[in-house]
Amino acid sequence: MAEPTELPAPAAAAPAVDDADHRDELPHDLNVSEFVGPYVFPNNNRRRVPGYLYLGLAALLLVIWLVTRNGDPVLVNSGFVWAAAGLALVGAYHLVAGWNLDVDERDALVAASEQVGFPVGHASAQLGWRGIRSRPTWRILLYSSENPPTRRGLVLVDGVDGEIVDWFVEDNPEDWSDLDGDLAADHAP
């Protein structure tokens, strides 16, 4: 008969953590506050790297299938051809969608400012993509330079050639009348 084994002693209960003691913080590698200088958007042409990898893997699968198709392979079958075709399609899409981002946010802001026709105060830039080929497009939101702004506009600027894709300008519908005292206090000398 087997000898009874001793059970380990129960682990000490973890001390209770009060919500006031817990602080959320970003991991060190995501903390961008320590970087100095302007932010540089990554270039869209980085999509070409996985595209070449997919095409290389597709070629490798096709070669393996071609080398072993006359024998009686156990693990290599026509699925290799289908996988190679799928990887080749995905790789080709990555190459086609890997546009070179030639227009940065400053160039897009200048083009948008010229398009709206009013002096620009605050503005915001966001990089998005349009169409099935994912062409990079800057979305620029602009406010007029008055305090508070009386006009606003949205301009879409192509990230490849800097052409204006679309634009819209309107009177600012936001009501900032309850903030008049706060705005004056913020800009007092």
Q: Mean pLDDT, consecutive 10-residue segments, the chain of 189 residues?
A: 64 66 68 64 84 96 88 80 95 92 88 86 88 90 85 90 88 73 49
Q: Residue 82 has what pLDDT?
A: 94
pTM: 0.64
CA distances from 153 to 119, 157, 162, 166, 173 (A): 11, 13, 17, 11, 12
> What is the pLDDT, as a whole number, of residue 44?
80
Question: Torsions phi, psi of 93, nearest 5?
Answer: -60, -40
Whole-angstrom distance, CA of residue 177 vs CA of residue 75: 73
Q: Are 159 and 137 in contact (CB under 8 A)?
A: yes
**pLDDT of the residue at 187:** 47
Give me the pLDDT at residue 184, please.
47
The per-residue pLDDT for 31 is 65
